[in-house]
Amino acid sequence: MTSELHAAPRQSLIHRPQLDTPLVLSLVVPVYNEAETVALFVERVEQVFADPDAVRVEYVFVNDGSEDETLDILLLLQRRIARIRIVDLSRNFGKEAALSAGLRCATGQVVVPIDVDLQDPPELIPTMVKRWREGYDVVLGHRIDRASDSWAKRASANWFYRIHNKIADPAIPENVGDFRLMDRQVVDALNDLPESRRFMKGLFAWVGFRTTHIDYSRPERVAGTSKFNGWRLWNFALEGITSFSTDPLKIWTYLGIAVSLSAFLFAILIVLKVVLFGIDVPGYASLMVAVTFLGGLQLIGIGVLGEYLGRTYLESKRRPVYLVRRIYEAED
């Protein structure tokens, strides 16, 4: 069940005319050990876009180092559907890198990153195309119901959006994943960004352009299991916050001032007790608490600095985001 919601733009949009030739729409689909789902995904998309004279779908599957039969199944599907392109990466580089590779290889006038597990319904894409024809450059898929996710995943996602949007700029739309339609101009802008440590949700928000969204309820996976565990989600959140905000570094400046001020006030209190009342404060327990507390703060602060320094170090190497082993075209 879906509903549409798009705010009126600040200025009138230029409607894109209907083309004499079919609109070329590229689906960018990162896959990692998704042998159970790729055929189901293609079948569903083919049902949605049964009329090739209206929209011509280009599939860009990015095989992110799969260890199962995903690549073999994709090659079999390519024999039947010539519009399938397969970008086979040399190893598992992660979803952000795979997504970057797919955007680089997509040739369509509009591009839609989408998960192969069908939790992002392909049936929404024609509505996205309609919004694009109205003049919007980006059409987001906004999740209004995440009942298919676990409680822990929903809670952690909510906290991440709140913290990130409080300290980072630009803000990331809440409950919006990678599923969106983007005009060719937007994709070209993303491809021009030079960084190798890529947090795609942040980059999508950073480039801007005229944006609207449609609401949908996210269903369960059709098959297989999610490749994101708690540890990977935690690292993903750290990547997002440190990529678009320096506030964690500023926090330690203010925390250091607060701790120093507290220590100064406590020292004055001790002096007053000794001078006025002749009370000597036993030192061992308070000293150990102070040492361990300040030591812990220092280690955490060093850890925060390390996160930024490590990312700067990796970025300075200028290694490519991914390496392509081979691109399989239909005629291969």
How many Å apart are CA 93 and CA 229, to the nearest integer? 16
Average model confidence (pLDDT) for the chain? 76
pLDDT at 258 over 70: yes
More confident residue, 7 or 18: 18
Per-residue model confidence (pLDDT) at position 62: 92
Report which of 73, 79, 65, 72 is spatially closest to residue 38, judged by C-alpha positions.
73
Per-residue model confidence (pLDDT) at position 195: 80
How many Å apart are CA 168 and CA 165, to the nearest integer? 5
Tell me which fold the domain 2-244+324-328 belongs to.
Spore Coat Polysaccharide Biosynthesis Protein SpsA; Chain A (3.90.550)
State what percent of residues in the chain have pLDDT above 90.
7
Q: What angle do CA 65, 69, 73 make, to 5 degrees?
A: 110
Place of tokens 């996976």: 221
Length of the chain: 332
Mean pLDDT of all residues in 39-63: 85
Q: Please, how many CA atoms are within 13 Å of residue 91, restricted to the half-sphere of its CB? A: 2
How many Å apart are CA 237 and CA 160, to the nearest integer? 7
Mean pLDDT of all residues in 93-122: 88
How many Å apart are CA 136 and CA 16, to the nearest integer? 9
Judge contact between 168 and 202, C-beta under 8 A: yes
Q: What is the DSSP string of 235-253?
A: HHHHHHHHHH--HHHHHHH
Q: What angle do CA 259, 261, 266 make, to 5 degrees?
A: 95
pLDDT band at 205 (very low <50, low <70, confident <90, very high): confident
pTM equals: 0.69
Per-residue model confidence (pLDDT) at position 4: 42
Report which of 58, 59, 55 is spatially closest to residue 30, judged by C-alpha positions.
59
Residue 8 has which token pair? 């009126």
